[in-house]
């Protein structure tokens, strides 16, 4: 896998030759259309389909240029490259996304890119800002998980391509930048390999992260960097496979957006990645999908492909992702050290007074070069800190009020050939949310079902978190929304805050909406009926039952812009149970069993509880406090392994994964850098 940039041209030529032989095997499908719920084609035909579709597109973007370069076909749209160069030169937010794609184009020495354009690309890359300690007052977002690896990747590859040049922003050589980024990349990969991702299972940001890793796996000359990037890609594809239903990433997400969730498998960037990798999902063409299609050095593991296509009658995956700042020492990290700080930052930076104060001590070191943090993040942290201090002064409990925290999570996914149910178990009950998606039932690419307490804005779309628990195909979601806002000041909005560079509302500005929603787009189901507290829905051979303690009313457009149920009241309990024709018989018969099953809601505020005799499962007892009990037996909701499923059992923090299915075996040992795969 080790070759310098000068050898990239031979990889490019090999890709062109391979695609020339496969281009007649398939007809290109429009991106986002013709969803594949059953495995379709082979990798070569799907790759040709995706590249041909992108290359023929009239869109003026870098993805189209990647496809044309890979196919050695058409004319490179220099205007698209110029727009990215201008964005990078202005240091607009997400400029790292463009920089990684630009370096991908530059790395393949294609004659389609004229020498004057290559010179412009080089000049822009030599003037860019690559990390928080470099000069420049700008609104670049560098600290989140996906941006960290994006900037490190861009810095590493730029330094590798131009080792003897001076990078004007900090006066250092390309070799210096390459080596500095190498250290950060390997440490970042090491931590993610041990604890997973803060932006866990993100159908919005996994593609961004994977795009950066694909650039490293494809272009890094250092074997340690290229190999470990590829290993982490293997792990991310495995993660995606065990939490997806027929190409739809229908699981709890650390960060996502309503449009991505509601669009389901037809709108997720992860869906087109799955389509290319194993033939399930939507044949679209996002950045990471095009990068994978154009790649010669990285291939998705055959072991992962085989298990991704496996649909047993019953499948359970338990996993743990992310970490807590308080656990830093377990992973050789120190929150007070600038080089470790960003690896821990999303694990609850504003969860406690101590964490906030420690955060400020470090970020203040970069007050002149980390301008966006001072505009977007610090004002919110100061407001949260003031609230914590006021609560303590009053002698009141100080809860976790950090809506942006993406701390450690224990997840479960239960899947059959007809449906999937997934949740974050007992995750930060009652805390304010941001872009975290706690649970979802999936019976197809268009029909996600979930409940939420709505948040204060479209960006901060989650309100207060429920206390959730799931056992197999039954889920309980308990909401206990406060009636009074916490004390404290409003967030001070800096004068230069604007657009997406706005700080979060403070705890004292929480809207505390006194209702919960259930997203259920009834027009997309084959049957929908209501009886008592239950709403029943059928999609194909899959059945869904949703009960609310509080009365519900249908809204055709008022639930995240579409149809669903609205339940008034600050305290509510929702129950979701799924079924299937092959196991449960007819839809009417199954619905009757659910309706007839004893169901008792009890308590108010902190004493909320449910007692439900779930057909086919057992007696379910769960409350705002206490364990989940099934027929009296306590079921664990915490302390999960990193992965615990039929394909892999890996302890949290080990960094070693043995994945197997149907004679395929894949070993990923991040402690030694060993990757070994065998086939039947």
Q: What is the DSSP string of 430-473?
A: T-B-SS-B-EEEESSTT-EEEEE-B-SSSSS-B-B--EEEEETT
CA–CA dist 156, 216 (Å, integer): 9
Q: Which residues pair with 566 in a beta bridge?
A: 517, 553
* Inside any domain, residue 288: yes
3-state secondary structure 532-551: CCEEEEEECCEEEEEEECCC
CA–CA dist 102, 107 (Å, integer): 9
Which residue carries 């084959």 as its tokens? Answer: 526
- SS3 for 516? strand
One domain, residues 424 and 326: yes
CB contact at 8 A, 327 and 344: no
Burial class (CB in 10 A: 0-12, 13-18, 19+), 6: exposed
One domain, residues 561 and 583: yes
* Inside any domain, residue 474: yes
- SS3 for 278? helix
* Inside any domain, residue 121: yes
Q: Which residues pair with 310 in a beta bridge?
A: none
DSSP labels for 46-79? HHHHHHHHHHH----SHHHHHHHHHHT-S---HH
Sign for the pseudo-dihedral over CA of 309, 310, 312, 314: negative
Q: How far is CA 195 from the centre of its chain?
A: 15
CA–CA dist 40, 528 (Å, integer): 31
Helix (H) or strand (E) holding 622: strand 618-623
CB contact at 8 A, 477 and 468: yes
| Whole-number Cα distances in Å, 333 to 190, 226, 324, 326, 344 | 12, 24, 11, 10, 8
- Beta-carbon count within 10 A of 160 CB: 24
**Is the backbone of residue 15 left (phi > 0), alpha (psi -120 to 50) or beta?**
alpha
- pLDDT tens track for 171-195: 999 999 999 999 999 999 999 999 9
* Inside any domain, residue 365: no
pLDDT value of position 662: 98
**Residue (of 129, 168, 120, 176) closest to 150 by Cα position:** 129
Query: What's the domain count of the chain?
Result: 3
Structure tokens given for 382: 């100061």
In terms of residue numbers, what domain contains 663?
643-678
CA–CA dist 386, 509 (Å, integer): 13
One domain, residues 265 and 324: no
One domain, residues 635 and 668: no
- Dmax over CA atoms of the chain, in Å, equals 76
Strand order in 633-635's β-sheet?
Answer: 599-602, 609-614, 618-623, 628-630, 633-635
* Inside any domain, residue 381: no
One domain, residues 603 and 576: yes
Length, in residues, of the chain: 680
What is the rounded (10 degree) CA torsion for 389, 392, 398, 402?
A: 0
* Inside any domain, residue 382: no
pLDDT value of position 33: 55
One domain, residues 518 and 532: yes
Burial class (CB in 10 A: 0-12, 13-18, 19+), 639: exposed
pLDDT value of position 21: 31
Name the stretches of the chain with pLDDT < 70: 1-33
Sign for the pseudo-dihedral over CA of 253, 259, 261, 266: negative
One domain, residues 135 and 125: yes
One domain, residues 158 and 303: yes
CB contact at 8 A, 442 and 420: yes
Structure tokens given for 662: 């149907």
- Beta-carbon count within 10 A of 527 CB: 13
**Residue (of 332, 329, 324) closest to 355 by Cα position:** 324
Structure tokens given for 79: 């205007």
Helix (H) or strand (E) holding 527: strand 527-531
- Residue 660 has phi, psi (to 5 degrees) of -145, 150
One domain, residues 283 and 409: no
Task: Give the end-to-end CA distance of the chain in Å, rounded to a whole number.
Answer: 24
One domain, residues 570 and 663: no
Structure tokens given for 171: 């006066």
One domain, residues 452 and 304: no
- The packing angle between helices 223-242 and 269-278, to 10°, is 100
* Inside any domain, residue 396: no
* Inside any domain, residue 615: yes
CB contact at 8 A, 574 and 546: yes
One domain, residues 304 and 319: no
């Amino acid at each position: 896998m080790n070759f310098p940039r000068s050898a990239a041209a031979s990889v490019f030529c090999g890709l062109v030759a391979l695609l020339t032989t496969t281009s007649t095997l398939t007809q290109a499908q429009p991106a986002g259309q013709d969803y594949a719920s059953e495995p379709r084609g082979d990798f070569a035909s799907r790759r040709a389909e995706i590249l041909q579709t992108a290359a023929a597109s009239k869109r003026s973007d870098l993805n189209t240029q990647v496809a044309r370069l890979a196919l050695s076909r058409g004319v490179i749209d220099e205007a698209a490259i110029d727009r990215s160069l201008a964005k990078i030169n202005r240091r607009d937010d997400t400029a790292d996304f463009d920089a990684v794609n630009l370096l991908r184009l530059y790395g393949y020495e294609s004659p389609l890119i004229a020498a004057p354009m290559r010179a412009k690309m080089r000049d822009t890359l030599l003037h860019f800002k690559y990390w928080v300690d470099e000069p420049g007052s700008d609104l670049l977002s560098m600290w989140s998980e996906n941006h960290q690896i994006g900037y490190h990747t861009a810095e590493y590859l730029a330094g590798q391509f131009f080792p003897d040049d001076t990078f004007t922003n900090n006066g250092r050589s390309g070799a210096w930048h390459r080596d500095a980024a190498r250290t950060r990349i390997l440490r970042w990969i090491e931590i993610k390999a041990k604890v997973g991702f803060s932006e866990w299972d993100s159908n919005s940001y996994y593609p961004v992260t994977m795009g950066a890793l694909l650039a490293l796996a494809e272009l890094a000359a250092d074997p340690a960097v290229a190999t470990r990037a590829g290993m982490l890609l293997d792990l991310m594809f495995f993660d995606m496979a065990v939490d997806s239903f027929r190409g739809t990433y229908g699981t709890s997400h650390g960060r996502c957006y309503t449009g991505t969730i509601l669009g389901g498998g037809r709108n997720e960037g992860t869906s087109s990645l799955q389509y290319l990798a194993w033939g399930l999902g939507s044949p679209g063409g996002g950045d990471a999908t095009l990068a994978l299609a154009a790649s010669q050095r990285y291939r998705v593991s055959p072991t992962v492909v085989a298990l991704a296509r496996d649909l047993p009658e019953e499948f359970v995956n338990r996993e743990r992702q992310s970490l807590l700042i308080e656990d830093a020492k377990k992973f050789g990290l120190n929150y007070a050290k600038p080089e470790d700080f960003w690896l821990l930052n999303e694990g609850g930076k504003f969860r406690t007074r101590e964490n906030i104060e420690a955060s400020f001590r470090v970020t203040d070191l970069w007050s002149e070069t980390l301008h966006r943090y001072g505009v977007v993040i610090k004002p919110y942290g100061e407001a949260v800190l003031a609230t914590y201090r006021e609560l303590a002064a009053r002698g009141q409990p100080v809860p976790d009020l950090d809506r942006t925290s993406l701390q450690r999570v224990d997840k479960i996914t239960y899947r059959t050939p007809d449906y999937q149910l997934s949740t974050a178990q007992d995750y930060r009950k009652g805390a304010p949310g941001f872009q975290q998606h706690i649970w979802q039932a999936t019976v197809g690419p268009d029909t996600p079902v979930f409940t939420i307490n709505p948040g204060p804005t479209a960006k901060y779309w989650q309100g207060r978190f429920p206390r959730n628990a799931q056992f197999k195909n039954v889920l309980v979601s308990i909401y206990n929304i406060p009636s009074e806002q916490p004390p404290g000041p409003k967030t001070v909005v800096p004068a230069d805050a604007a657009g997406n560079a706005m700080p979060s509302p403070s705890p004292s500005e929480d809207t505390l909406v006194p209702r919960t929603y259930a997203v259920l787009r009834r027009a997309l189901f084959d049957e929908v009926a209501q009886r008592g507290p239950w709403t029943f829905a059928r999609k194909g051979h899959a059945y869904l039952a949703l009960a609310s303690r509080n009365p519900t009313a249908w809204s055709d457009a008022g639930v995240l812009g579409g149809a669903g149920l609205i339940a008034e009241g600050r305290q509510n309990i929702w129950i979701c149970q799924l079924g299937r024709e092959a196991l449960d018989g007819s839809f009417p018969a199954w619905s009757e069993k659910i309706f007839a099953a004893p169901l008792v809601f009890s308590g108010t505020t902190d004493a909320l509880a449910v007692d439900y005799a779930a057909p086919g499962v057992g007696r379910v007892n769960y409350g705002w406090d206490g364990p989940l009990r099934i027929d009296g037996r306590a079921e664990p909701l915490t302390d999960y392994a990193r992965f615990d499923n039929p394909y892999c059992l890996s302890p949290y923090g080990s960094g070693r994964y043995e994945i197997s299915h149907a004679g395929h075996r894949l070993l990923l040992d991040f402690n030694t850098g060993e990757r070994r795969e065998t086939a039947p």
